[in-house]
Amino acid sequence: MDIQRKESVDLPTRYGIFKAYVYESKDKLHHVALVKTGISSKIGNNNGILVRVHSECLTGDVFHSRRCDCGQQLDKALKSISKEGGILIYLRQEGRGIGLLNKIKAYKLQDKGMDTVEANEKLGFKADMRDYNLAAQILADLNARRIMLITNNPRKIEDLEKYGIMVTKRIPLIIKPNTANKSYLEAKRAKLGHYFD
């Protein structure tokens, strides 16, 4: 195992009460799984458990940046999981895995006309450096090996299935574009193959 469960606690939120599980990876980063209270009744569901695997985005999730749709996706996913029961996994993979400083450097390049993919590559990274092995291990630890995944990202589905998680259904997570993130969303569709249905 590349990750270990370290602690858990009830977490009251605006979306209801979740059980928060903190996991530690080998690089000493901490990742969180929020499990909606009463999830155990959903484990036998034919389609599995409703799941969102969300990568950290400080600018979008905390500061509500309009350059991306991450914060809005997080809110929408938490609302759905609160209603249906399920799991939200929050992975420490800032900036598609390049880290906060490099993400800000990529923003500067985007301000000069590059899209998100071009900016990451100019900095010497792949378009998307993320890996979902840790998410698969967290899901397995929570006995959620059969899931309905809230995502627009086909690679996320492929990775989770490669690591032994069965994705029975994809639940779209569509956010209305704004003037600041329109080109960002278009690059995700055109260059990373994200769905927008």
In the chain, what are the domain boundaries? 3-93+130-192
**Span 154-161, average pLDDT:** 92
130 is catalytic: yes
Q: Whole-number mean pLDDT of the chain?
A: 86
Residue type, 74: L
pLDDT range class, residue 40, cuts 50, 70, 90: very low
Q: Is 48 left (phi over 0), alpha (psi -120 to 50) or beta?
A: left
- Separation of alpha carbons 175 and 169, rounded Å: 19
Q: Which of 19-33, 61-75, 169-183 has the lowest mean pLDDT?
A: 169-183
Sign of torsion, CA 61 66 70 76?
positive
Please classify residue 181 by burial: count the beta carbons closer than 10 Å to its beta carbon, then call 0-12 exposed, 13-18 middle and 19+ buried: buried
- Separation of alpha carbons 172 and 58, rounded Å: 23
75 or 128: which leads in pLDDT: 75
pLDDT range class, residue 82, cuts 50, 70, 90: very high
- Per CATH, which fold does 3-93+130-192 belong to? Rossmann fold (3.40.50)
- Please pick, among 61, 69, 115, 128, the residue that the annotation labels catalytic: 128
At how many degrees (to 10) do helices 154-162 and 133-141 cross?
60
pLDDT for residue 45: 58
Cα–chain center distance at 90: 6
67 is catalytic: no
pLDDT in tens, 142-153: 999 999 999 988
Q: Which of 15-19, 57-61, 92-96, 189-193 has the lowest mean pLDDT?
A: 189-193
- Please pick, among 130, 146, 159, 189, the residue that the annotation labels catalytic: 130
